[in-house]
């Protein structure tokens, strides 16, 4: 069955970096785009951007340009999100979601919690 399994919770200090992974199984990794979505505590879903799993080209939403990097380990069917120079407002759960060619996010990871606190 289709699964997206994300890495575990992280506790970081301001200024540090974090890398979140999203391992896909049950389908051909390069047939679907991978999107990233942020959910701050008690808030709604915010689209961060996506990565073309065939070419590796990332696209970032305006609010996520600069400190955020999407990458792939295609041989391991894994997408990664790295956040550098962490700030308190990066405290959130981050979801990966695969998207088909109709623009439909039909499978989601379980979410990875990042807490930034001094």
Partner 1 sequence: DIVLTQSPALAVSLGQRATISCKTNQNVDYYGNSYMHWYQQKPGQQPKLLIYLASNLASGIPARFSGRGSGTDFTLTIDPVEADDTATYYCQQSRNLRTFGGGTKLELK
Closest CB to partner 1 among residues 58, 109: 109
DSSP secondary structure string for all residues of 21-70: EEEEESS-GGGSEEEEEEE-TT---EEEEEE-TTT--EEE-GGGSSSEEE
Of 41-60, binders to partner 1 (CB under 8 A) are: 44-47, 50, 59
Per-residue CA distances from 118 to 6, 16, 25, 39, 98 (Å): 25, 11, 36, 21, 33
In whole angstroms, what is the distance from residue 103 CA to residue 87 CA? 31
- The yes or no reply on residue 61 touching partner 1 (CB under 8 A) is yes
Closest CB to partner 1 among residues 18, 37: 37
- The yes or no reply on residue 7 touching partner 1 (CB under 8 A) is no
Closest CB to partner 1 among residues 29, 50: 50
- The yes or no reply on residue 40 touching partner 1 (CB under 8 A) is no
Determine the size of the site formed for partner 1 (CB under 8 A): 22
- The yes or no reply on residue 91 touching partner 1 (CB under 8 A) is no
Give backbone dihedrals phi and psi of 54, rounded to 5 degrees, phi first: -90, -45
Q: Site residues (CB under 8 A) for partner 1? A: 35, 37, 44-47, 50, 59, 61-62, 95, 97, 99, 102-106, 108-111
């Amino acid at each position: 069955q289709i699964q997206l399994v994300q890495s575990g919770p992280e506790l970081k200090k301001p200024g540090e970096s974090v890398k979140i992974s999203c391992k896909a199984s049950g389908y051909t990794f390069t047939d679907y785009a991978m999107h990233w979505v942020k959910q701050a505590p008690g808030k709604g879903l915010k689209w961060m951007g996506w990565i073309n799993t065939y070419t590796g080209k990332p696209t970032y939403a305006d609010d996520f340009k600069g400190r955020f990097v999407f990458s792939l380990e295609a041989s391991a069917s894994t997408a990664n999100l790295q956040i550098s120079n962490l700030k308190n407002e990066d405290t959130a759960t981050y979801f990966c979601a695969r998207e088909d060619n109709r623009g439909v996010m039909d499978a989601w990871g379980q979410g990875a919690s990042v807490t930034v606190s001094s």
